[in-house]
Structure formats: structure tokens, C-alpha cells
A = this chain, B = another copy of it.
Amino acid sequence: MGNRHDAELIERGSLCMVQSQEMNVTVKLGDRSYDIVIEPGALKKLPALMADCGLHARKGLVITDANVGALYATATGLSFPAATIPAGEESKSQATLFHLYDEAIRAGLDRKSIIVALGGGVVGDLGGYAAASFMRGLKYVQVPTSLLAMVDSAVGGKTGINLPQGKNLIGAFHQPSLVVCDLDVLKTLPPRELRAGLAEVIKYGIIYDAEFFAYIEANIDRALALDAEVMAHMVARSCAIKADVVSQDETETGLRAILNFGHTLGHAIEAVAGYGNYLHGEAIAIGMVFAVRLSGLPADQQARIETLFTRTGLPVKAPELKWDDLRRAMSVDKKSESGLPKFVLAKEIGRVEYGIPVDEAALAKAYTSLLASVPE
């Protein structure tokens, strides 16, 4: 790991003959490989980009949410009908999933039809899972419209819905056939969601690439101002790191676990606070600060990480939540085996280890230290 893969990671997409002014990334997974197109204005070219990848379907369904659909559903130029779900995590539910199945039948989809998930992480996870499970699996295209979805959930094939007992407890690994990131749509993203997306960008620096972490430190203000060049590099580099990890471990039997850095506590925060009270990126920012404390990094590296989250406008603690509740919620997490959570811990900025068991006392101590000393 570390930052020695830089040169090979960022490469032009080659699978689909896609022509682009910006950097594209290929997720290499044998016959399930696909391109991530990263380009301002890409949304308007969606039918052409899909055709470039051989995605010709007589019938299809666009899945979007009320917010995104109002802004962009007609901009894509696709002739497929749209199924619009309510915005928000509550839509990653049994009821909404089965509503989408009904919409798919109403749209006359068959096994050769295509689903297009146009929206943020909720739409991508839910739409991807509908594609994975309808008629035992349809092809689908991810068109992420939030920064979080561009750099994380739209890439890698993890799809799913929540149960009342926990997030993403139902799901499938089902790779998209194409991912299209139109950087222009970030202009309509609420600033709070932009900051939350940057939490995942910072994560890639911590887990995989010290040089990228330094780039983020140097350019965080330009990123927050949506500087086009900075944003293009941050999205492309994040996607390239994720693609590299997923290519090595598609179904998370090992390495892919590093992408969950900060997520064990992060998921617990989301569950205990109630989904939606913390954005995913906000919750994992706190989770990463917690994991850094648990890792026992040198003080200067710990300070750099915590300062960067604070400069990004992300929370670094959740003092209103009780430790006992968070600890209990961590036991239900998918990553736990037999009730004992294992952690991804940082060895230094740019390098982590996964599958590390941590005892109860160390967990509680790290959380106490975080509450006591992290700057507001």
C-alpha cells in the first residue's frame, strides 16, 4: 500500500471507447470490468456514453429521487421512464424496493433491460440492488450525483437495503456496467453534503496514499469552493484507489475491508442517532477520528488528520450519544463475527491494517479520549 501505485492507478478508461477530456478510471474485474467516466457535462452525453459501452436496451428504467429527478431526470436525454422515490435513507427499505419491482414490471422490463441509478448513495445502493435481484440480475449504470456517491458507493458493486436492525443487512455484490460522474452536478449539491463527501476523499488519503492526503491538505479550501481542477483530481484519485482495492478483492474477503476505515463506529453513530441525523460522511469522519485514536498514531499525524476534518467542516465527535448505545450497535454490524468487532487501524498516514481485534477496554478508552480532547 502507500502511495507507490500512483502512476498506474490513474489511467484512461479503455473498455468503452469513451472519449473524454478528463481522467477516466477502469475497474478491472475480468469480464465484469467497467469504466468510470469523470467529466463535467457528462450527464447530457449519457445515451452516447452508454452506446459506447454496448449498452443498447429497448427497455429500461431510470431510478431517481425527488430532489435529483426534478433537477436532472430530463437532462440525461434517455427515453426510459423514471421511477422516483422519496429522497433520504428511509428509502433504502423493503417497501421502496418492492415498489421499484412493481415499477420495473409496469415498465415492461425483461432480462435484457437496463436500470439507470441517477442520484446519491441511497439511489445507487437501492437501484443497484433492484438491478441485482430483479429477474436474477439486470445490467445497470450508476450516475452518482453526490460527491459521496461518486467517490464511494457508485463504484465497486456493493448494493443493498437496510433492515430496521441495521444498515445494508440485505444486499448483493453486483457490479455496474458503467459509472458516469458529471462534476457539474456538484454545483447543486448542498454544501453540507459536499463536506460529507470530502470525508470519504480524506479517507482514501489516510488508508492508501500519503501524497494524496497532503494534496487534500493543500487544496481543501479550493475543493470547498468547487474548483474544477481540484475536484476532478480528487474524484479521479479516489475512484482510482477504490478501483484498485476492489479489483484485488471484489467480495471483501480481505483487503477491501480497508475501505471500511472509520465505518464501524460510523455505522453505529448513524444507527443510534437515527438515520439522517448524521450524514454518512459526518458519521464516518467521527469514526475515523475514533479509529485514529484507537490506532495510537504519533501525535503530529493524529493532529494533521483531526485538523483536516475540522477545516473541512466535519464533526469529530458526537458527545450527545451514549457509549453503551454505540457499543451495542457495533455488535450488529455485518463486519462483526460473533459479536466482537474487528477494526481497520492506521499505521501511519497512507497505510492501514485490517481485521484487528480490539478489546473492550481499549475501545472505551479511545472513545473517552476522543470526547475529552478532540477540538470542537
Contacts and interface: CB of A to CB of B under 8 A. Distances in A.
Question: Which of A94, A112, A135, A137 is packed against the most chain B CB atoms within 10 Å?
Answer: A135
Interface stretch (A16-24, A189-197, A276-284, A331-339): A331-339
Contact of A158 (B136, B165, B169, B170): B136
A170 B168 CA distance: 18
Contacts of A101: 163, 169-170
Nearest to A173: B136
B169 A137 contact: no
Contacts of A110: 334, 336-338
A165 B102 CA distance: 9
A30 to B, nearest CB: 11
Contacts of A135: 169-171, 334
B111 A334 contact: yes
Given A110-B334, A163-B101, A338-B110, A172 B133 contact: yes
Contact of A133 (B105, B112, B170): B170
B337 A105 contact: no
B112 A169 contact: no
A160 interface: yes
Interface string A20-54: 00000000000000000000000000000000000
Contacts of A112: 337
A161 to B, nearest CB: 9
Nearest to A158: B136
Interface string A228-272: 000000000000000000000001000000000000000000000
Interface in A82-109: 94, 98, 101-102, 105, 108
Interface in A316-337: 332, 334-337
Contacts of A98: 94, 163
A291 B127 CA distance: 37
Interface string A212-236: 0000000000000000000000000
A102 B166 CA distance: 11
Given A98-B94, A101-B169, A169-B101, A339 B108 contact: yes
A111 B173 contact: no
A39 to B, nearest CB: 30
Contacts of A171: 133, 135-136
A122 interface: no
A251 B137 contact: yes
Nearest to A113: B337
A59 interface: yes
Nearest to A94: B98
Contacts of A59: 338
Nearest to A174: B172
Given A110-B336, A133-B170, A136-B160, A165 B94 contact: no
Task: Give 9 nearest A-B pairs by CB, closest first.
Answer: A136-B171, A110-B337, A135-B334, A105-B165, A133-B170, A136-B173, A136-B172, A94-B98, A112-B337
7 contacts: A94-B98, A105-B163, A133-B170, A133-B171, A134-B170, A135-B334, A137-B173
Given A111-B335, A112-B337, A135-B334, 17 more contacts: A58-B338, A94-B98, A102-B163, A102-B165, A105-B163, A105-B165, A105-B332, A108-B339, A110-B337, A132-B172, A134-B169, A135-B169, A136-B158, A136-B173, A137-B172, A137-B173, A137-B251
